DNA sequence: CATCTTTTGACGGGTACTCGACAAAAGTCG
DNA sequence: CGACTTTTGTCGAGTACCCGTCAAAAGATG
């Protein structure tokens, strides 16, 4: 029960180490560490990383985790698009593909796309299917993570309680992990920007508004898997905007893309949809900029509560509205730093996504990698190797 | 590395089991579990629980966890009161004491009280000091749990970064765990009412309003240890009530005890303080009842966001205002079930505290018990026994 | 080029753990 | 009351694991 410890240490340090260093850090004997390292090298998870400088005798060989040992497939399924990518164990994308695909087409159509694209991506990355170690999938709706099924999804007809892992495993006999799309985006940003952050909130603001919550280092899904549903919190600014949920003044009915577009239309501006809005903001349209900034303030109003409540160290803002430059996040900061308690905001960072449209696939890959490199999985693999 | 597994199984099942059952459940040989059980019995953690019915041969002896093996001390320090109790390992209180004590007196005075009372309680429970296994303490302010120090506490002059565990361990050389008072109350209610709930929010509403968050089975303290600070979230109802934090319309400035009392005073009602308010509500004063119910609605307004955000399975309402009967929680339910999403409220329970003023000491004890019965601690103890 | 230093992989011994067997203990059944 | 059944504790054997030792390898040093 200790091979995984050596690997975990090597992974945490995130830099090449010698066997002697590993022995000192773990407290194990040099010979024991050597045996463990041998197993990890035969698994391919660890490789020599050249020699370190000699201190008078034989130079010690450096060891490092080998991201190229295996690959994972990350899949990000949105309402009207799909994206898939092959990543190595460091989370680096090796091949990627995107398509306009309606999730409403149902599991058979969508998962067939996933299967064909997965094969194509593996070929593109020049990796055999046997190199594929796990698959992570993000779905646009509430998901029961433990079973991999969508539960009462509002925009995914035909997916309710559908056994996604079973379907995918018919083509690829590897672990398949499913989660909500916003949750995996949170994971993606965590791994890309703040790999050590234990309390991070990711906000996706585009057609809808949702949050992914990482608290205590763990993704929080809530009792029914609907945690992070901030879109239907009522904003402070009095509003009679009717939301599709039936209530009035919901954040989503005030600050989401369609709501902003509608407001600009009412003011005589020809703004068709969210993408159009983003274009106009980028083009420097003053009215559009002001509308987006106000939406940022409205979101900041809700985020101020979130910050007081869960006290994160980082808030990452993503989604289409975050790609309008700094206007949106400026509105958010404006309100959060005013409304939240100084203790909670003292070390708080509010930043925009750095991975943009890739946060979903990156997070799905990260989720799969986390599974593959978990201590349990490594123990399992080392046992299978010796037997 | 497996003695703890046997104990954990016995604890999870929470009912007497035979050695044969343990062997079947763990997959170990009968002789191995017998050895493990022997260790646990010599540690006192497990005791025979009479014989089961014979099936034709020698009747198997039943084994059960022994709550009387050791005791822990739970301490709940409030702004103007202190409470301490000795509990057995099941969390049952064996002896208890309460005093009016200002936390502002400083660590020396307060911890001296803790020490003398602890000795008195041990005597009362007829337990030697050697039976004391751990101490849990709740402090009324932000706490850095890992170091056991209060950080920038607003109402605890002299406690800032004071090393509480070191002080207490001079008198009692056992593990000392410190946490925020609302956090331990959340733990207390979880153990008393919903021991299996993994996502629970506890609300303390009295002079201030705070929340303890249990998400994913773990207490969430946030990045700076200030998670759960819901008192300074702005309520939806327009209000110009000035809060001591400098903002206006804070929940605490609208719905906490002093705020309600002030509002009633302004209406010509002689309500001195929170305790007085509670008395009047219990006496059936209509104005007081209405004011408390409105405060419940205001709190419900904030709780609706919390429920949407973290999606708990239970919300427990405690503190002085919760002891006014159902009026307060009725106001909460009224708004939460209206404002939160059906998916989140479908299986949500909103209940009042069942432990009342004891939730703090119970939670502090539960925290200490959790430490004593943790797998690591049991392994440690069994190792020390054999050596 | 020889010697010295340091790392590496292999080997053997010791320890701790786990398992199955066996005899004694404790009831049941005829 | 004796035979049978089932559990319990003890004991010896097998095994896996971990450590220290040692020769070989690889480079530094003079």
Q: Which of A218, A222, A339 sits opposite B234 (nearest CB)?
A: A339
User: Greater confidence, A43 or B127?
Assistant: B127
User: What are phi and psi for residue B350, nearest 5 degrees?
Assistant: -115, 115
CA dist A104 and B265 (Å) reads 59
pLDDT of B249 strictly over 70: yes
pTM above 0.85, yes or no: yes
User: What are phi and psi for residue A211, nearest 5 degrees?
Assistant: -130, 145
Question: Which residue in chain A has the smallest CA separation from B209?
Answer: A309
According to the model, what pLDDT value does residue A340 have? Answer: 86
Stretch B86-99: mean pLDDT, rounded? 96
Helix B3-13 vs helix B375-386: angle between axes, to the nearest 10 degrees? 130
A234 touches B at CB < 8 Å: yes
pLDDT of A285 strictly over 80: yes
Find chain A residues with C-beta within 8 A of B335's C-beta: none
According to the model, what pLDDT value does residue B152 have? Answer: 87
User: What are phi and psi for residue B284, nearest 5 degrees?
Assistant: 95, 15
pLDDT of B161 strictly over 90: yes
Helix and strand numbers, DSSP H then E, in chain A: 14, 14
Least confident of A362-366, B58-62, B95-99, B333-337: B58-62
Stretch A197-211: mean pLDDT, rounded? 95
* Spacing of B19 CA from C20 C1' in Å: 17
According to the model, what pLDDT value does residue A367 have? Answer: 98
A240 touches B at CB < 8 Å: no
Q: What confidence tens digit (pLDDT) does each residue in A217-273 have?
A: 999 999 988 999 999 998 878 888 888 888 888 898 888 888 888 888 888 888 888
* Cβ neighbours of B91 (radius 10 Å): 20
CA dist B350 and B316 (Å) reads 6
Task: Say yes or no: Cβ of B32 under 7 A from any atom of strand C.
Answer: yes
Least confident of A25-29, B77-81, B327-331: A25-29
Question: Which 3 state secondary structure label does DSSP give B54?
Answer: coil
* Spacing of A58 CA from C5 C1' in Å: 7
CA dist B314 and A309 (Å) reads 16
Q: Which of A199, A225, A305 sits opposite B222 (nearest CB)?
A: A199
Q: Retrieve residue A354's tokens.
A: 């750095």
Question: Which 3 state secondary structure label does DSSP give A72?
Answer: strand
- Pairs across A and B, CB distance < 8 A: 152
Q: What structural domains and CATH numbers belong to chain B? A: 3-66 (1.10.10.10), 71-174+360-375 (3.30.420.40), 195-354 (3.30.420.40)
pLDDT of B170 strictly over 80: yes
A195 in Cβ contact with A220 (< 8 Å): no
Q: What confidence tens digit (pLDDT) does each residue in A89-123 have?
A: 999 999 999 999 999 999 999 999 999 999 999 99
Write down the mean pLDDT value for chain A: 91
User: Greater confidence, B84 or B12?
Assistant: B84
């Amino acid at each position: 029960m200790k091979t995984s410890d050596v690997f975990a240490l090597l992974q945490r340090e995130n830099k090449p180490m010698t066997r002697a260093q590993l022995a000192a850090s773990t407290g194990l004997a040099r010979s024991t560490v050597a045996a463990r390292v041998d197993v990890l090298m035969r698994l391919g998870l660890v490789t020599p990383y050249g020699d370190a400088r000699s201190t008078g005798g034989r130079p010690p060989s450096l060891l490092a985790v080998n991201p190229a040992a295996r690959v994972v497939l990350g899949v990000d399924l949105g309402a009207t698009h799909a994206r898939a990518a092959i990543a190595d164990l460091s989370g680096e994308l090796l091949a990627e593909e995107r398509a306009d695909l309606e999730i409403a087409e149902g599991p058979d159509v969508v998962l067939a796309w996933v299967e064909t694209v997965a094969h194509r991506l593996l070929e593109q990355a020049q990796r055999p299917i046997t190199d594929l170690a796990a698959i992570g999938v993000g779905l646009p709706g509430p998901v029961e993570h433990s079973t991999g099924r969508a539960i009462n999804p509002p925009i995914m007809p035909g997916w309710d309680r559908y056994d996604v892992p079973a379907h995918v495993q018919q083509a690829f006999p590897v672990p398949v992990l499913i989660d909500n799309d916003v949750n995996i985006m949170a994971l993606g940003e965590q791994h890309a920007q703040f790999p050590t952050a234990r309390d991070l909130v990711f906000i996706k603001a585009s057609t809808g508004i949702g949050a992914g919550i990482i608290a205590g280092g763990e993704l929080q899904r809530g009792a029914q898997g609907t945690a992070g549903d901030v879109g239907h919190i009522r904003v402070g600014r009095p509003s009679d905007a009717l939301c599709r949920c039936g209530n009035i003044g919901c954040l989503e009915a005030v600050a989401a893309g369609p709501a902003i577009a509608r407001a600009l239309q009412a003011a005589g501006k020809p703004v068709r949809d969210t993408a159009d809005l983003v274009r106009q903001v980028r083009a420097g349209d003053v009215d559009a900029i002001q509308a987006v900034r106000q939406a940022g303030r409205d979101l900041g109003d809700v985020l101020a509560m979130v910050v007081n409540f869960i006290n994160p160290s980082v808030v990452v803002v993503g989604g289409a509205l975050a790609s309008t430059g700094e206007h949106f996040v400026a509105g958010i900061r404006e309100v959060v730093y005013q409304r939240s308690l100084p203790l909670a905001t003292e070390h708080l960072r509010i930043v925009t996504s750095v991975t943009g449209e890739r946060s979903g696939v990156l997070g799905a890959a990260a989720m799969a990698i986390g599974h593959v490199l978990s201590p349990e999985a490594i123990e399992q693999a080392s046992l299978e190797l010796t037997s």
